[in-house]
Amino acid sequence: MWVSLFVFIGKLAGAAKEMAIAWRYGVSETVDAYVFVFNLVSWPVSVWFSVLTVVLVPLVARVRHDSPAELCRFRSELLGLTLVVGLVLAMLAWLGLPWLLNSGGIGLSDNALAETLRLAGGLAILAPLGVVISALSAWMLTCGRHRNTLLEGIPALVILLALLLPSDWLPEPLLWGTVAGFALHLTALGIALQRQGELQAPQFKFASPAWRGFWSGIGIMTAGQVLMSFTSVIDQFFAAGLGPGALSTLSYANRILALLLSMGAMAISRATLPIFSEVNARSGAGVHLLALRWARWMFVAGVIVAAIGWITAPWIVGLLFERGTFTTSDTGRVAAVLRYALIQVPFYAFALTLVNLIASQKKYGILLASGLVGLVVKISTAAILIPVMKLEGLVLSAALVYLANATLFYYCSRIDRK
């Protein structure tokens, strides 16, 4: 319940930020450019965070149970590794984004392409900031505290404030509001961990015995997460080729979808992974029945949310975004995409619960297989549906990905239980 409350507050801040973006920019090439660059920079950061969360929470649960004295050294060495990863990503983003954008074939209009090149340099700063934020957030989650979920709303609040300032006060408010928001989020996490005595100086070595468990899972888990999350990158390139405004339309629909998903699925995900990990660290008895029970309830809740969302989609979009430069026709476009996107909700909620079960048991091969299955389903279904249904076909392909993954996870859970 605490996680649900914190997620709600954080996503409420995110919704307010999106309302401000819609008011100021509407469905436009400026938003297309921002969404395109931001999602490209955020993709490796989200992979890093997902991998750390899934690998670190069960690992720390075992280390805390077997040799708690090792946690301090492992934590400082993990921070050292994180800083190195952040530096590498910063260099790749700084050098690679302009090359990618100038290579051609992306599908963006000339105006949107010029906007992306202008934003690329500043948004590249998010790569190093993001990986450090991810490491600190994941560590806070391993301690059973969920304050990081509340702090995730800080970037959205800062962006909101930047957009509400008079236009001549801050040049590029969307760009520099984002950078400042990430920096403040990192600062808040550091202060919170420092007060708990869980933020040590980084050490650039791998002396802790806990690294054996870390390396045994991170390779295959990273490969699986890259495959699973690469579908979001594919969405960006497919949407970029559907004309001006397609990326921003997709972004607005996805923001509302994320708000709906987070109220249940993400909250349950973050709450159940530590529990599943603790049960498995002790005996593992009854964990399959517990996970399957939660998964079924989450599926039912997802069906209810999707049905209500389908009926109320035009009203929700209009209430949130229809003001300023966001017109009634924009509301109709976003609502149509949102309705098809809602089909994924029950399958997403079901699969996410079983992912935590599989991750707590360190069965990363199943997660790798799900990433491969999802990528194949995404590319094949998008290629078939987009020419017929355009942007609606793109989001429908996401629902088919989650359906395929939910089926795979359920089958693997049933086989393992037997």
| Residue pair 189/50 in contact by the 8 Å Cβ criterion | no
pLDDT of residue 121: 85
Instruction: Give the integer Cα–Cα distance in Å for 367 and 371.
Output: 6
What pTM did the predictor assign? 0.76
Nearest to 189, CA basis, from 148, 247, 236, 217: 148
Which amino acid makes up residue 232? S
Residue with tokens 């997902």: 50
- Report domain extents, the chain: 2-417
pLDDT at residue 141, rounded to an integer: 76
**Chain position carrying tokens 């910063």:** 90
How many Å apart are CA 340 and CA 343, to the nearest integer?
6
Q: State residue 368's pLDDT score.
A: 80
The predicted pLDDT at position 99 comes to 85
Could you report the average pLDDT of every consecutive run of 10 residues in the chain (418 residues)? 67 82 88 89 88 78 75 87 91 86 75 85 91 88 68 88 84 90 92 82 86 76 78 86 88 85 64 65 65 83 91 93 90 94 91 78 78 91 92 93 90 68
> Token pair for residue 86?
């952040």
Report the pLDDT value the prediction gives residue 209, as an integer from 0 to 100.
Answer: 83
Q: Residue 415 has what pLDDT? A: 66
Q: How many CB atoms lie under 10 A from the CB of residue 151? A: 23
DSSP assignment string, 159-220 = HHHHHHS-TTTSSSHHHHHHHHHHHHHHHHHHHHHHHTT-------S--STHHHHHHHHHHH
In this structure, are residues 255 and 18 in contact, taking their beta carbons and an 8 Å threshold?
A: yes
284: left (phi over 0), alpha (psi -120 to 50) or beta: left
Q: Of 137, 184, 132, which is closest to residue 158 (Cα–Cα)?
A: 184
